[in-house]
Amino acid sequence: MEMLLMALCISVFGLGVAALAFGAVGRPDPAEPEFHPEVAVRPAIPARFFSDIVLPVKPHPPLVPIEVLLQQIENHVRLEQAAAESFVAFPTQALLHCKTTSALVN
Amino acid sequence: MDHELLNGLSPAEIEQVMALGARELVPSGSWLFRLGDPADRIFLLERGRIRLTLPMQLRGGDEEILIEENAPGQTVGWSALIPPHRFTLSARAPLETEVIALPRTALREFFERSPQVAYKMSFNLCIIVGHRLQLVQTMWLREMQRSVQLRSDAGAR
């Protein structure tokens, strides 16, 4: 009987120690900074991979002066109107889809 | 001068219609009317040219783009006879131009007194408006065809 009581006491004591140890592990350490995913330190990766390879720069077509662009639009409208006049005078699918010589679209 | 709006009218009828209007001189570079203005007069071109334009946004600014250029004998400003009586284009004279301005109210009163003239002029107006519609729908289809072609060409690349 005494042996049984001693074993029970040891078991209860052991259970208490285990619970304390588990609690200590689960509790956050106040000295440890909180984890913020957005401010997590990023590994020091170079800004560019293969920085020694220079990508070819696509040259932008030079902007035509606005007066030239307006003149191109006006010529385009006149050509398209002439094409439309031809179609309306004699409607055929070929005339509807005939190509234009307009510099605006060629 | 033969005016498209007056086709089929007798000389006496033409004289009656002309008597309703007033000759106006539009100096070179001046506006005859602007987009959105109330349209209370229709104009018969006697001399010069009228450029019909619409504003297009180009490089952050508005630029007037030519839609149609009218020559003597042609009619501009038929919004005066069609509700809601607001001009849907702007009209400018690239050179000194002479027009006959026919007020809507005077024309309507005359039409009530002379239905045969009203019929002929309405018929002529149908031809003018119908022709414009046919041209615009053809030009629209051609531009749409080009846009679709550009998209499919870009997709194929």
pTM: 0.72
Say if A71 is an interface residue toward chain B (CB within 8 Å): no
- Partners of B134 on chain A (C-beta within 8 Å) are 84, 88
Q: What is the SS3 assignment for B113-126?
A: HCHHHHHHHHHHHH
Find the CB nearest A96 among B65, B66, B138: B138
What pLDDT score does A77 carry? 94
Taking the C-alpha atoms of residue A25 and residue A15, their distance in angstroms, rounded to an integer, is 15
* pLDDT tens per residue, range A54-97: 666 666 667 888 999 999 999 999 999 999 999 999 999 999 99
Find the CB nearest A105 among B59, B141, B146: B146
Domain holding A72, by residue range, is 63-99
* CB within 8 Å: A69 and B58: yes
How many A/B residue pairs have CB atoms within 8 Å? Answer: 44
Taking the C-alpha atoms of residue B110 and residue B19, their distance in angstroms, rounded to an integer, is 11
- Partners of B139 on chain A (C-beta within 8 Å) are 80-81, 83-84
Is the residue at A49 inside a domain?
no
Taking the C-alpha atoms of residue B155 and residue A67, their distance in angstroms, rounded to an integer, is 32
Taking the C-alpha atoms of residue B113 and residue B115, their distance in angstroms, rounded to an integer, is 6
What pLDDT score does B86 carry? 98
What pLDDT score does A20 carry? 63
Say if A83 is an interface residue toward chain B (CB within 8 Å): yes
- B interface residues, A as partner, C-beta within 8 Å: 56, 58-59, 63, 65-68, 131, 134-136, 138-139, 141-143, 145-146
Angle (deg, nearest 10), helices B11-20 and B115-156: 80
* pLDDT tens per residue, range B104-146: 999 999 999 999 999 999 999 999 999 999 999 999 999 999 9
* CB within 8 Å: A69 and B138: no
* CB within 8 Å: B138 and A66: no
- Partners of A70 on chain B (C-beta within 8 Å) are 58, 63, 65
Spatial neighbors of B17 by CB under 8 A, at least 6 apart, are B6, B9, B102, B107, B110, B117, B121
Which of B78, B24, B32, B27 lies closest to B51 in space, CA to CA?
Answer: B32
From the options 2.60.40.1930, 2.60.40.3500, 2.60.120.10, 1.20.140.150, give the CATH code of B4-156: 2.60.120.10
Is the residue at A33 inside a domain?
no
* pLDDT tens per residue, range B24-57: 999 999 999 999 999 999 999 999 999 999 999 9
Name the band, by pLDDT with cuts 50, 70 and 90, for residue A10. Answer: confident
Is the residue at A70 inside a domain?
yes
* CB within 8 Å: A77 and B67: yes
Nearest residue on chain B to A91, judged by CA atoms? B138
* Contact between residue B93 and residue B48 where contact means Cβ atoms under 8 Å apart: yes
Is the residue at A90 inside a domain?
yes
Task: List the beta bridge partners of residue B43.
Answer: B76, B101
Q: What is the SS3 assignment for chain B?
A: CCCHHHCCCCHHHHHHHHHHCEEEEECCCCEEECCCCECCEEEEEEECCEEEEEEEEECCEEEEEEEEEECCCCEECHHHHCCCCECCCEEECCCCEEEEEEEHHHHHHHHHHCHHHHHHHHHHHHHHHHHHHHHHHHHHHHHHHHHHHHHHHHHHC
Q: Where are the domains of chain B?
A: 4-156
* CB within 8 Å: B141 and A85: no
| Region of A69 on the Ramachandran plot (φ > 0 left; ψ -120 to 50 alpha; else beta) | alpha
What percent of chain B is modeled with pLDDT above 70?
Answer: 100
* pLDDT tens per residue, range A22-61: 666 556 555 555 555 555 556 666 565 556 666 666 666 6
Is the residue at A89 inside a domain?
yes
Domain total in chain A = 1
Which of B8, B92, B94 lies closest to B43 in space, CA to CA?
Answer: B92
